[in-house]
Amino acid sequence: MSEIFGIPIQAFMGQLMLGLVNGSFYAMLSLGLAVIFGMLNIINFTHGALYMVGAFGAWLGLTYLELGYWQALLLSPICVGIFGIVIERSMLQWLYKLDHLYGLLLTFGLALVLEGLFTNIFGVSGQPYSIPDELSGAFNLGFMFLPKYRAWVIVASLVVCFVTWFVIEKTQLGAYLRAATENPKLTQAFGINVPLMVMLTYGFGAALAGFAGVLAAPAIQVSPLMGSNLIIVVFAVVVIGGMGSILGSILTGIGLGVIEGLTKVFYAEASSTVVFIIMAIVLMIRPAGLFGKEK
Amino acid sequence: MKQKLLVALTTMALAAFGTQAHAQAEKAKTGKLSGDMVKVAVMNDMVGLYADIGGPGSVEAAKMAVADFGGKILGKPIEVVFADHQNKPDIGASKAREWFDTQGVDMIVDVPTSSVAIAVAKVANEKKRVFMNTGAATKALTNEECNPYTVHYAYDTYALANGTGKAIVQTGGKTWFFLTADYAFGHALEGDTAAVVKASGGEVKGAVRHPLSASDFSSFLLQAQASKAQIIGLANAGGDTINAVKAANEFGLTKNQTLAGLLMFITDVHSLGLKTAQGMMLTDAWYWDANDETRKFGKRFFEKMKRMPSFDQAAVYSATLTYLKAVEASGTDDADAVMATLKKTKINDVFTKGGYIRVDGRMVHDMYLMQVKKPEDSKYPWDYFQLKKVIPAEEAFQPLSLSKCSLVKK
């Protein structure tokens, strides 16, 4: 059997594939963070909690309303988005003019409140959520046994990432949005409702987190801590990609997922640190991140 | 001259302080209870990944023990306090120090997470106060790290390895691969189980170490799959075990390989659901559905916490009750006197019949090899385990002859 660095090529390909799956989650979550930071200048620490709420939305829908996976995939992000809008209108909007630190503190506090609330109600071991029947089973790729559900995660996340990038970078709406961040007063003078745009952006970022949550629900246990286990890595992804850079966060997310996956084969003990080592190196060489612009 | 005076004054002051401290200590001894009360402190992971195993449920269990004891001891009140150690040894040790030094805590109970347990045991030894550990697994507590004030109450890695490891090899599971949580507990559990597997004629094909609270296990499981071992031993706990089992089902490992949960609690099985967990083998220290007495305790606990007690929580109840009985029998909460009483008293309660505490601090009692039921065999809520084998107390735990504890005379 042929080998790469002493690892059978099949195992290598398998790990590459799994890295891609994890990378898809990182990409989707860091995309939401990047959008919110880019447009609102808020470091949204609530993101992990919103991802958790999205997953719980799916579980609650199934348990109490008998909503299936597909309905949850649509409804849960919408609910999380609306919840995000409520947060933005009631709290965040007062902080835009202040230092980043205030937004960070508020959103971090909110994340703790949400996690505490869910832990209290549901316990930390979490709730099981089954894979929908249409997506159970697996593809035999020759080099590995890829569960259909994981393949679906890659596809869904790539589509969502692409659409988001397209809307923000290539459409009229996206142009307004970017203008509103660049110079809110001038944009408003042109008759564009900037506060509305900002509100919708936060809602959209939150919905993205909720969507990732629903995608994750069948793959990992739906538990109140699922967000905080992930959020630090996702922040590292955003920093490496360049704060606020959309394309940067997508590419870095996928790339780091793959690198982390490969680390798990070569030296599993380092798999939780490798992302931060990369972050340190990138910040030394390019302080604004790989795709960020120096201000 | 001036200097001599200063020295004399200092000496006098020091002497005065010394007598005062000595008088206080004397008073504590003759006045029977320090601080005129007994304070039991529950320390564990209140909100993190091990919170369902112990957490607030352990506090409730300790309170139940106090209530069953009658609420008063030698005519004085009993108080239960608690704290969250967040699975961090430094937090656990400094909280224990604060409790012993300034809060008048007499005994600390629970303390899951081996690294924290070892840190707290050191503080207990230094401050000469009782530490009854029910939550942590490492057998180091009664070996290298043993001390005269620490009791290891419910289980340890030796008992788990011996129960699950030996039984599985005997039923034909000869080749093993370990999925290990990368910290003291995981390493200890893997090491002990590997030793049992080899001693019973099995073979260890390899191991992979994952970080604590890893969010994705698929990559590690793929390595386990590639090893082609018959048995995949999960040397982890709590949320990590749950996610590993879930991913193993998704990736089809369970078709050709069998998972062995080396430390699984009933709360883990509950949150996985029987559909995913069915067929797994595990070693248990206590099960709520074993007899009428345990069922009664389980239901009482359920009414308060809306879930059945884990064996850790039952052990917290039992340890607290045992401690209070020992304080009463000794007529004091002086740690040396209480430990002497503890080590010569048989324990008979809902947790164990005829359990006893050895010189190394190990509480010796029967353990149980369980198999998780199929969904169709489960008749009522929390009906999860099928008893496969009772492991008698003498076989369940490490014999004293193998102990590395300095208290054991060889």
- In chain A, the residue whose alpha carbon lies closest to the alpha carbon of B273 is A128
Among B55, B211, B276, select the one facing A128 at the smallest CB separation.
B276
pLDDT band at B30 (very low <50, low <70, confident <90, very high): very low
* One-letter amino acid for residue A142 of the chain: G
With 60 as the cut, is the pLDDT of residue B2 above it? no
Q: Is A49 inside a domain boundary?
A: yes
Average pLDDT estimate for A252-271: 86
Q: In whole angstroms, give the CA distance from residue B357 to residue B74.
A: 24
pLDDT, tens only, B287-299: 999 999 999 999 9
**CB-based contact, A13 to chain B, within 8 Å:** no
Cβ atoms of B6 and B14 closer than 8 Å: no
Q: Is A106 inside a domain boundary?
A: yes
Query: Is 0.90 surpassed by the pTM of this model?
Result: no
Average pLDDT estimate for B82-92: 93
What is the domain count for chain A? 1
Q: At what angle do helices A172-182 and A148-170 cross, to 10 degrees?
A: 70
**Residue among B84, B246, B308 with most chain A CBs within 10 A, to mutate:** B246
Please give the pLDDT value at position A6. 64
* One-letter amino acid for residue B69 of the chain: F
Contact check, Cβ <8 Å, A265/B219:
yes
Residue for token digits 């007690």?
B309
The C-alpha of B213 sits at a distance from chain A's nearest C-alpha, in angstroms, of 7
Q: Strand pairing partners for B348? A: B353
Report chain A residues whose CB lies below 8 A from the CB of B216: 18, 21-22, 220
Size of interface A-B (CB pairs under 8 A): 113
Q: Is A244 inside a domain boundary?
A: no
Task: Return the number of other C-beta atoms located less than 10 Å from residue A277's C-beta.
Answer: 12
Report chain B residues whose CB lies below 8 A from the CB of A221: 239, 242-243, 246, 271-272
Please give the pLDDT value at position B168. 87
Contact check, Cβ <8 Å, A272/B211:
yes
Vertex A257: Cα angle to A154 and A101 (nearest 5):
110
**CB-based contact, A111 to chain B, within 8 Å:** no
Among A10, A124, A144, select the one facing B52 at the smallest CB separation.
A124
Which tokens sit at A284? 């030394």
Q: In whole angstroms, give the CA distance from residue A130 to residue B295.
A: 31
- In chain A, the residue whose alpha carbon lies closest to the alpha carbon of B45 is A124
Q: Is A291 inside a domain boundary?
A: no
**Is ipTM > 0.85 here?**
no
Task: Return the number of other C-beta atoms located less than 10 Å from residue A178's C-beta.
Answer: 14
3-state secondary structure of B34: helix
Please list, in sequence order, all residues whose beta carbon lies within 8 angstroms of the beta carbon of residue A259, skipping any fewer than 6 positions away.
A19, A274, A275, A278
**Residue among A25, A119, A125 with most chain B CBs within 10 A, to mutate:** A125
DSSP run (H or E) holding B259? strand B258-261
**CB-based contact, A223 to chain B, within 8 Å:** yes
* One-letter amino acid for residue B30 of the chain: T
Q: Is A238 inside a domain boundary?
A: no
Q: In whole angstroms, give the CA distance from residue B240 to residue B30.
A: 49
Query: What is the pLDDT of chain B when averaged over all its residues?
Result: 89
Q: Is A256 inside a domain boundary?
A: no
Report chain A residues whose CB lies below 8 A from the CB of B272: 128, 221
Q: Is A269 inside a domain boundary?
A: no
Least confident of A111-120, B4-13, B99-108: B4-13
Report CA dihedral (B205, B398, B187, B116) to the nearest 10 degrees: 170
Residue B234 Cα to chain centre, angstroms: 18
What residues make up the domain containing A45?
8-226
Cβ atoms of A85 and A199 closer than 8 Å: yes
Cβ atoms of A233 and A275 closer than 8 Å: yes
Q: Is A271 inside a domain boundary?
A: no
Please give the pLDDT value at position B291. 94
**CB-based contact, A247 to chain B, within 8 Å:** no
Q: Of the candidates B363, B397, B401, which has an alpha carbon nearest to the alpha carbon of residue B157? A: B397
Q: In chain A, what percentage of residues exceed pLDDT 70?
A: 96
